[in-house]
Chains A and B, each alone.
Chain A
Amino acid sequence: MTTPPAARLGNITKSFGRFPALSGASLEVRSGEIHGLLGENGAGKSTLLSIFGGRLRPDAGSLEIRGTRTEFGTPGDAAAQGIGMVHQHFALVPAFTVLENLALGYRSSRSRWTLPIPDLRDRAARLQAETGLRVPLEASVERLGVGDRQRVEILKALLIDPSIILLDEPTAVLAPSEVDTLFGLLDRLRAQGRAIVLVAHKLDEILGVVDRVTVLRRGRTVLTAGRDEVDGPALVRAMVGEGPVADPAVPDIPRPRGGRVPPGEVVVSLEGAPTSGLNGPLEIRRGEIVGIAGIEGNGQGSLAMALAGRSRPPGTRVRLPAHLGFIPQDRTRSGLAGSMSLVENLALALHRDPAYRTSRPGLPSLLRWSALRERAGELMERYGVSGPGLDAPVAALSGGNQQRVVVAREMALARDVLVAENPTRGLDVASTTFVHQQIQSLSSTGDRPPGVVLISTDLDEIMALAHRIFTIVRGSLREVPRDARSREEIGGLMLSGVEAV
């Protein structure tokens, strides 16, 4: 008789409204293995993991834990079953200290009238020594960087001594060397006989560490195999289906022209002092793509806001051109007005343009909606936006199509410079490639092409697109020397920033 798997989820279905997120997803994970869960954006990886961890309830499907049929329950039930979860968007309370976060939901044998803080402090200290996950226990979480926050998440998951550990895209916020440390830890947890499910979007990254993989496509499990039975291309085929295949990690785009700085006048310049939170200098010329690489939470947000002219950190001098386009990281929050229609969202940028205003003497100037509709239709076609139509609310579009709307609008505005902050985050392969191509053609077409600032946490994206690369570490910008353009070296600079010349 063989030992039953640590857990088996069978034929899970789950819909959000009319949208089917999962339609027949299965996952089996064994003790003592690292199991990779792969799939494109929107394939249902996070949904499946959330159901596993008790955060979501499936519409149908079965769950077995160590061979015993079990009902899906709450996160508390899952924890009681020995399932620990590390969330992609950290499930921490920023206003609490690390210890208070660890205490949250921690079932202690002590009285319900006192917090088990001293007890927890001991346990956490022991766990830190065991795992090497060092974080200041008394610090409040809002003052920690993303790397530290993730360590808290992992500590929290390990505190219940889980037999099954679920990690949702844990590498997205880490520098290459931190990823190695994390994988080292997972290795040791595997050796202790725990079952580990690992979701990651970078194929090459996780192939080195997993024992088996499961691939989801459009909410369905399409492949489960041992690591040795499949290779990269086969997995990519499983993820995207038949047809033209692009490696999702490194989209198929031409390399920048030899790193040569193309001639062109300076359109943006930024100077800052170390005290201002942004430390330049940074100059952008027409026709070049400047990449800003950094681990999330190192001042990219305020840099983007400063370059887009939305805010200016005190002590920083920024010179901006007249015609600027800005693709914000969070399209739903600062890029689009979700309940307004596609035409209206495009009009938001064009409503000051005289071409779209009436001018009759003695009368107030009104918007020429027919012209705006026409323009919106053109842009939709050119940027391949597919959706329910010009008058439907933009929130009804898929994430990729929403991003195309933002890209279309901002590129039309970017006659001098385009500032793009993580423009492909959360997009699938096709849309990512499309955005990359648009950025490249924007910066290389015409007599006076605009300059582009590409702020991204995806190092591959930057290396593929940028003519010049800067790293940003705690708000300090440093240009990466031309001869140091390798993943390892830039990764090292992103982490410390001290080795830069």
Chain B
Amino acid sequence: MPEILALTAFLEASVRLGTPLALAALGETVTERSGVINIGLEGSIIAGALGSALGAIATGSPLAGLLAGVVSGTAVAACFALFAVVLRTDQIITGTAVTLGGLGFTGAVYQARFGTTGTALSLPTLDAVSFPGVARIPVVGSAFFSQPITVYLAYLLAPALWYVLFRTPWGLSLRAVGENPDAADAAGVSVVRTRLHATLVGGALAGLAGAHLTLAHTGTFSEGMSAGRGFIAIAVVVLGRWNPLWVLVAGLLFGTASALQFFLQTLGLDLPYQLFLALPYALTLAALAGWVGRARAPAALARSWPPQQ
């Protein structure tokens, strides 16, 4: 049954491609709920990718590499937060600078460390872990439940973050900061500290997304390999209506769109393959252009606090 096998491979690729988007978007959801839009997400992802590669090579352990990726992504987000949250610079401009800086810096480190020989780096990778029962379900089983650990982290983080945002005092304070920082401040919540934490959480998950790219997806690092995923993740947050559960679904949906491009190419249609490459980006535009319906962004998104005099 080659069709079924192809379908399983397609779904499996959808999940694998959707996971970094979902992870980064889950982190960005927390960040944006606090009223900070971190366009520098791409910088955290690429830093996470390089950091995880270096960490995995240095220790020989992909799990240690994963941790190094998280630390790298968080460090880049800390840099963004120092300017955008503490020093109150414009969030969009700061985020753009962090993205471009992250791409340039990782490229420079990579070339300094590995030269420009062009030979692909080979990294110890995260193995797929199969869940004994569910992985045997035909078609979908192995697609969803025979995957590297980062995929399961995304599954777990979505409900966990939902609980934190909507059911804990910290989540309530964080959402209040994103909706009306003045009200949060009046209630004794530290706006700057809350936004700082939320931005770091976002950076950590973006770093994890980057680590997934190197250690679970490609097994190598190349310059600029984040390939705009930070920006797509921001669209995923919008499509998921700032709700972690829907953000996970939206992330996997974007993964499907990416997988579709390979799938359609294998069908041998007589169309330029660049058209299929454009598919996820077209979906991004559609998501931003109102497919989302009446979803409402946090009211204080992208506004620095306290406001400049």
The residue in chain A whose Cβ has the minimal distance to the Cβ of B173 is: A104
In the bound complex, CA of A361 to CA of B70 (Å): 68
- Chain B, interface residues (CB within 8 Å), range: 20 to 34
In the bound complex, CA of A90 to CA of B186 (Å): 10
Contact with B along A378-397 (1 / 0, CB 8 A): 00000000000000000000
B185 within 8 A of A: yes
A103 within 8 A of B: yes
Q: Tell me the smallest distance from the CB of A157 to a CB of chain B, in Å.
A: 10
- Chain A, interface residues (CB within 8 Å), range: 20 to 34
Task: Give 27 A-B contacts (CB < 8 Å), ordered by A residue.
Answer: A53-B186, A74-B188, A75-B185, A75-B186, A75-B188, A76-B187, A79-B188, A91-B186, A93-B176, A93-B179, A94-B180, A95-B179, A95-B296, A96-B176, A96-B179, A104-B176, A104-B183, A104-B184, A104-B187, A105-B187, A105-B188, A112-B168, A113-B168, A114-B169, A115-B168, A115-B172, A156-B187
B223 within 8 A of A: no
Determine which of A17, A103, A113 lies in contact with B309 in the assembled complex, contact meaning CB atoms within 8 Å. A17
Tell me whether A114 and B184 are in contact (CB under 8 A): no
User: Given A105-B188, A105-B189, are A93 and B180 neighbors across the interface (CB < 8 Å)?
Assistant: yes
Known: A93-B175, A93-B184, A104-B189. 4 other contacts (CB 8 A): A17-B309, A104-B184, A105-B187, A115-B169
A285 within 8 A of B: no
**Of residues 92 to 107 in A, which have CB atoms within 8 Å of B's CB atoms?**
92-96, 100-101, 103-105
A contact residues around B167 at 8 Å (CB): 114-115
Tell me whether B188 and A93 are in contact (CB under 8 A): no
The residue in chain B whose Cβ has the minimal distance to the Cβ of A87 is: B186
Q: What secondary structure prevails in chain B residues at the interface with A?
A: helix
A462 within 8 A of B: no
B contact residues around A105 at 8 Å (CB): 173, 184, 186-189
The residue in chain A whose Cβ has the minimal distance to the Cβ of B186 is: A91
In the bound complex, CA of A103 to CA of B188 (Å): 12
B contact residues around A94 at 8 Å (CB): 179-180, 299
**Of residues 164 to 207 in B, which have CB atoms within 8 Å of A's CB atoms?**
167-170, 172-173, 175-176, 179-180, 182-190
Determine which of B170, B179, B185, B189 lies in contact with A55 in the assembled complex, contact meaning CB atoms within 8 Å. B185
A267 within 8 A of B: no
In the bound complex, CA of A105 to CA of B169 (Å): 8
Q: What secondary structure prevails in chain A residues at the interface with B?
A: loop
B contact residues around A17 at 8 Å (CB): 309
B contact residues around A104 at 8 Å (CB): 172-173, 176, 183-184, 187, 189
A contact residues around B173 at 8 Å (CB): 104-105
Q: What are the 3 A-B residue pairs with the smallest beta carbon separation, nearest first? A: A76-B188, A105-B187, A91-B186
Contact with B along A100-131 (1 / 0, CB 8 A): 11011100100011111000000000000000
Determine which of A91, A113, A115 lies in contact with B187 in the assembled complex, contact meaning CB atoms within 8 Å. A91
Tell me whether A93 and B169 are in contact (CB under 8 A): no
Q: Tell me the smallest distance from the CB of A339 to a CB of chain B, in Å.
A: 13
In the bound complex, CA of A103 to CA of B169 (Å): 8
Tell me whether A112 and B169 are in contact (CB under 8 A): yes
A contact residues around B180 at 8 Å (CB): 91-94
Q: Tell me the smallest distance from the CB of B159 to a CB of chain A, in Å.
A: 15
In the bound complex, CA of A113 to CA of B169 (Å): 7
Interface centre among A16, A17, A105 (most CB of B within 10 A): A105
Q: Tell me the smallest distance from the CB of B298 to a CB of chain A, in Å.
A: 8
In the bound complex, CA of A101 to CA of B176 (Å): 9
Q: Tell me the smallest distance from the CB of B108 to a CB of chain A, in Å.
A: 40
A contact residues around B186 at 8 Å (CB): 53, 55, 75, 85, 87, 91, 105
B contact residues around A87 at 8 Å (CB): 186
In the bound complex, CA of A61 to CA of B175 (Å): 35
The residue in chain B whose Cβ has the minimal distance to the Cβ of A102 is: B187
In the bound complex, CA of A69 to CA of B111 (Å): 62
Interface centre among A91, A94, A101, A114 (most CB of B within 10 A): A91
Q: Tell me the smallest distance from the CB of A162 to a CB of chain B, in Å.
A: 13
Tell me whether A91 and B169 are in contact (CB under 8 A): no
In the bound complex, CA of A94 to CA of B184 (Å): 12
Q: Tell me the smallest distance from the CB of A25 to a CB of chain B, in Å.
A: 21
In the bound complex, CA of A108 to CA of B168 (Å): 12
Interface centre among B169, B182, B185, B186 (most CB of A within 10 A): B186
B contact residues around A103 at 8 Å (CB): 169, 172
Q: Tell me the smallest distance from the CB of B171 to a CB of chain A, in Å.
A: 8
Determine which of A91, A112, A115 lies in contact with B183 in the assembled complex, contact meaning CB atoms within 8 Å. A91
The residue in chain A whose Cβ has the minimal distance to the Cβ of B166 is: A115
Q: Tell me the smallest distance from the CB of A175 to a CB of chain B, in Å.
A: 25
Q: Tell me the smallest distance from the CB of A85 to a CB of chain B, in Å.
A: 7
B contact residues around A156 at 8 Å (CB): 187
In the bound complex, CA of A115 to CA of B171 (Å): 9
In the bound complex, CA of A365 to CA of B39 (Å): 43
In the bound complex, CA of A104 to CA of B296 (Å): 21
In the bound complex, CA of A85 to CA of B188 (Å): 12
The residue in chain A whose Cβ has the minimal distance to the Cβ of B183 is: A91
In the bound complex, CA of A117 to CA of B176 (Å): 16
Q: Tell me the smallest distance from the CB of A137 to a CB of chain B, in Å.
A: 15
Contact with B along A66-84 (1 / 0, CB 8 A): 0000000011110100000
Q: Tell me the smallest distance from the CB of B235 to a CB of chain A, in Å.
A: 22
Interface centre among B169, B180, B184, B309 (most CB of A within 10 A): B169
In the bound complex, CA of A104 to CA of B189 (Å): 8
